[in-house]
Amino acid sequence: MNYLSTRGKTDPMSFMDAGLTGLAPDGGLLIPESLPDLSGDLDRLATLSYADLAFEVFSHFATDIPSEDLRGLVDRAYSTFRHPDTAPVVQVEDRYILELFHGPTLAFKDMAMQFLSQFFEYALEKRDQHLNILGSTSGDTGSAAIHGVRGKSRINIFMMHPKGRTSPVQALQMTSVLDANVYNLEIDGTFDDCQAIMKALFADVPFKEQYLLGAVNSVNWVRVMAQIVYYLYSGLKVMKDTGADQVQFSVPTGNFGNILAGYYAMKMGLPVSRFMLATNENDILARFFNTGIYESGSVAKTISPSMDIQVASNFERYLFALLDGDAARVREVMDTFAATGRVDLSDRLKHEAMKLFASASADTAKTLKAIKETNARADYLMDPHTAVGVVVGDELRNGDPLICLSTAHPAKFTDAIVDAIGEEPHHPVLDALKGAETRCEKLPADQEAVRDYLVQKLGG
């Protein structure tokens, strides 16, 4: 399997090259040249454990990794989860909740990051190379990535997070990791500022190559590939249990990577009638799917901070599909958006890809109400991101079984939960962090400041 850039100006590369490269040299995102068709094998796949299903899916994409080596990477990655089902599906009232928070950092980012860290270690050892990861996070990606690669001898990680725009627990999960290869950077700006700095430095190909920069954000194809698995796992399970012919998903999303993985799962054969894209007040994606206009605005600070994003980094992969694989048109659209902050794609509203999505936003009041009422009625506590998905899912659902993605444990968002139910949530992993020593460098939202910091720490 080869990997191509959405912008069409990068030579095809292997899976291992794509994973180590992250962002394509031409500024585009790497995608597989084709997607496997699993539609004839769904009954068998529905019987597999999570790890076995992951191995089957990854085998179609990671064709340059020997099967026995890939199996070992998968087994080590998913052995770190606290639940025997890895990603259990729980019925809560008349919907299903897919719990993706049973990994080391209690967030859905672990579902991909645990495999990605195993992949990095394997690929770097095979090639006798080192990697300096530069990442940006709105909260959960940072801690999941840091915990995945901490202490690994061939990897340094530089993780940028926006000052005051993650939950206190999310920040503590990152900054309390004191391993010598971990560098936390608090950027005086928004997540979009962090992401723009990261993309600018990756776009400087000589700098990227000189300092061996790699990506863990969902611009890295390995992340998206790993997330495909839990859509197949939950969808097939619910269909088997209910006898339904298809399912629908409600997905809280800000960066579009999570719901994009579901779109790929559907293209690979999972029967999905609808994806409901759920946003908070930062509703650029909801507005796009309802109007065809993709237009950035100012970032609002909310109780669901991982979705406080205006520029969705994975949107370009979806755009490639929406424009029928026309890389020149993708370049044109992305250049226009970079220059003006707005593109009009309303002519594509009737495209098959657009018709699969329904979208709406849930504000703070609706989110808190959903947390409170679901806890009271069903004795089930949701974090604010999950609650956004439940609100929108209930609003837009059709008659098929509804699966809502639960992206984090509620104890990661203490303030929001206290506001909703008047009680503080707990988890022993997070309780153990209280009073922990922290380390973090404060930098302005300026790419030259970050560049200088990297040069200072890496030499040269």
Tokens 């579009």 correspond to what residue? 256
d(C-alpha 130, C-alpha 154), whole Å:
5
d(C-alpha 110, C-alpha 344), whole Å:
35
Catalytic: 301? no
d(C-alpha 16, C-alpha 340), whole Å:
35
Kindly state the tokens that stand for 460. 């040269």
CA angle 70, 230, 302 (to 5 degrees): 120
Q: State which amino acid sits at residue 25.
A: P
Torsion of CA 142, 143, 148, 151, to 10 degrees: 100
Considering the candidates 9, 109, 369, 412, report the single residue annotated as catalytic. Answer: 109
Among residues 122, 112, 14, 109, the alpha carbon closest in space to that of 72 is found at 122
Distance of CA 76 to CAs 81, 214, 241, Å? 10, 22, 29
HSE-CB of 455 using CA atoms within 13 angstroms: 9
The answer to whether the CB of 54 falls within 8 A of the CB of 81 is no
d(C-alpha 326, C-alpha 387), whole Å:
37
What's phi and psi for 70, nearest 5 deg? -60, -40
Q: Which residues have a catalytic role annotated? A: 109
